[in-house]
Amino acid sequence: MPALLAAAALLAALPAPAGAQGALVATAAELTAQAETLQPGDWVWAPALSPAGPVTLFVDLTRQTATVYRNGVRIGISTISSGKPGHETPTGVFVILQKDADHRSNLYDNAPMPYQQRLTWDGIALHAGALPGYPQSHGCIRLPLEFAKRLFAVTEMGGTVIVSGVAGEPAITPAPGLLAAEGPGGVPLDHAPLAGDELYRWMPDSAPEGPLTLVISRRDQTLVALRGAAEIGRARVYVPQGETATHVLMLSQAPGGALHWIQLELPEGKPGAPVATLPPASPDELADQALLPPAFAALLEPLLLPGTTILITPESLEEGSGGLPLTIADAIG
């Protein structure tokens, strides 16, 4: 791939922070130690900690880091450079819409974007690029070249990418309006609230295949099920109020075959480490924990496979709730 080699040469010529480097490690202790001392341009990778399974990427704009989980286990972390002022990287839940190892920008002078993984059709992607130690991109999430290559090799189309935080801020700023997503050409996606007498809505034919993501709003007491980048269901749900943190859980499969939920720690705590393993969730247990309508829980249960992600947020799912919109996926077009 001559163009990719040329892109790599161009990236190598760009200024890099002094001492920027990558590290391959074999133990969780080494990974944690390296992750706590990353400087701009640094990364650490430990694939043997979880050799197989679904991959989820969590991007923390506040800390300017990206953390890779495979089968719920952290296997890598890298520094990033996100969107500069006026071109801020959108936050939300995304799926990988396109992968192109030899991509060039059609917006910015044919600029090389090696190991590109598209998150939206209007120009937001993961790709290799310069990391000056602060947000500098036009909205994309730049990664070190070698880390981008390794990440590209372990992700799949439709994989989940969660982007949270605010670049330059000391803590997460909530962004109400979680379902203010737009499709190609800026056309709003249809995320209609439930009618007054509706307990749930089920539309599995909207996306027959793809990874499942569940978004639960404590404020709205609503669950939205997305498969790939399309809404396939919505239900009323009861979850305890008063919790202000955002949580992400991933359904993982142990070597013996047992399923369990891994809770991934978000920026309110120490970056990147799994903090809890929850017991297996049967459809009845899921309904008990979240108080879903039993009929909806029965429809959802067959779709709960390793890699399923749950985002639990204190914010609203509906537009017009104030604040900035937080994108939930993007239309596949």
Q: What is the CATH number of the domain that holds 75?
A: 2.40.440.10
pLDDT the model gives residue 327: 52
Kindly list the distances between the CA atom of residue 9 and the CA atoms of 39, 101, 129, 136, 142, in Å, as whole numbers in the listed order: 22, 15, 11, 20, 16
Between CA 268 and CA 307 the distance in angstroms is 23
Kindly list the distances between the CA atom of residue 17 and the CA atoms of 38, 119, 136, 243, in Å, as whole numbers in the listed order: 12, 27, 14, 39
Domain end among 134, 164, 194: 164
Residue 215 has pLDDT above 70, yes or no: yes
Domain end among 164, 194, 215: 164
In a domain, 171, yes or no: no
Same-domain pairing of 44 and 159: yes
In a domain, 331, yes or no: no
Token pair recorded at residue 257: 């075959």
What order do you get walking across the sheet with 274-278 strand by strand? Answer: 200-202, 230-236, 222-227, 212-217, 309-313, 247-253, 259-264, 274-278
Residue 216 has pLDDT above 70, yes or no: yes
What mean pLDDT comes out for the span 104-119? 78
pLDDT the model gives residue 20: 56
Token pair recorded at residue 205: 């034919």
- Annotated active-site residue 103? The verdict is no
- Residue 182: strand, helix, or coil: strand
pLDDT the model gives residue 8: 41
What mean pLDDT comes out for the span 249-258? 78
Same-domain pairing of 205 and 154: no
Domain of 236, in residue numbers: 184-319
pLDDT the model gives residue 246: 73
Q: Comparing C-alpha atoms, which of 257, 107, 88 is closest to residue 175? A: 88
Same-domain pairing of 153 and 251: no
Task: Flag the least confident range among 24-33, 123-132, 244-253.
Answer: 244-253
Q: Are 237 and 220 in contact (CB under 8 A)?
A: no
In a domain, 259, yes or no: yes
Same-domain pairing of 112 and 250: no
Q: Are 57 and 67 in contact (CB under 8 A)?
A: yes
Same-domain pairing of 145 and 271: no
> 101: Cβ–Cβ under 8 A, 6 or more apart, which residues?
1, 4, 114, 115, 116, 152
pLDDT digits 0-9 by tens, 273-287: 343 444 444 444 444
pLDDT the model gives residue 109: 60
In a domain, 170, yes or no: no
Same-domain pairing of 289 and 141: no
In a domain, 35, yes or no: yes
pLDDT the model gives residue 183: 46
Q: 226 or 76: whose pLDDT is higher? A: 76
The total domain count for the chain is: 2
What b-and-e string marks burial along 173-208, b requiring 16 or more CB atoms within 10 Å of the CB?
ebbbbbbbbbbeeeeebebeeeeeeeebbeeeebbe
Same-domain pairing of 27 and 153: yes
Residue 316 has pLDDT above 60, yes or no: yes
Same-domain pairing of 128 and 201: no
Our CA angle for 180, 119, 163, nearest 5°, is 70
Q: What is the mean pLDDT of the chain?
A: 75
In a domain, 302, yes or no: yes
pLDDT band at 265 (very low <50, low <70, confident <90, very high): low
What mean pLDDT comes out for the span 133-161? 92
Residue 177 has pLDDT above 60, yes or no: no
Q: Which DSSP state fits 238?
A: -
- Annotated active-site residue 247? The verdict is no
Residue 236 has pLDDT above 50, yes or no: yes
Name the active-site residue from 103, 127, 138, 260: 127
Same-domain pairing of 202 and 105: no
Same-domain pairing of 205 and 245: yes
Q: Where are the alpha helices (DSSP H) in the chain?
A: 2-13, 28-35, 145-154, 283-290, 294-300
Between CA 229 and CA 9 the distance in angstroms is 35
- Residue 257: strand, helix, or coil: coil
What mean pLDDT comes out for the span 237-263? 77
Q: Are 317 and 191 in contact (CB under 8 A)?
A: yes
pLDDT the model gives residue 174: 36
pTM, rounded to two decimals: 0.71
In a domain, 261, yes or no: yes
pLDDT the model gives residue 204: 92
pLDDT digits 0-9 by tens, 199-211: 999 999 988 887 7
Q: 213 or 9: whose pLDDT is higher? A: 213
Half-sphere exposure of 85 (CA within 13 A, CB side): 2
Same-domain pairing of 208 and 160: no
Same-domain pairing of 111 and 189: no
pLDDT the model gives residue 309: 84
CA 130 from chain center: how many Å?
22
Top-ranked range on mean pLDDT: pick from 119-128, 164-173, 282-291, 295-304: 295-304
Between CA 60 and CA 205 the distance in angstroms is 33
pLDDT > 70: what percent of the chain?
71
pLDDT the model gives residue 146: 95
Name the active-site residue from 103, 140, 191, 260: 140
Q: 332 or 123: whose pLDDT is higher? A: 123
pLDDT the model gives residue 298: 92
> 289: Cβ–Cβ under 8 A, 6 or more apart, which residues?
281
pLDDT digits 0-9 by tens, 149-164: 999 999 988 888 888 8
pLDDT band at 91 (very low <50, low <70, confident <90, very high): confident
Residue 163, H or E segment: strand 160-164
pLDDT the model gives residue 331: 37
Our CA angle for 233, 119, 90, nearest 5°, is 90
In a domain, 332, yes or no: no
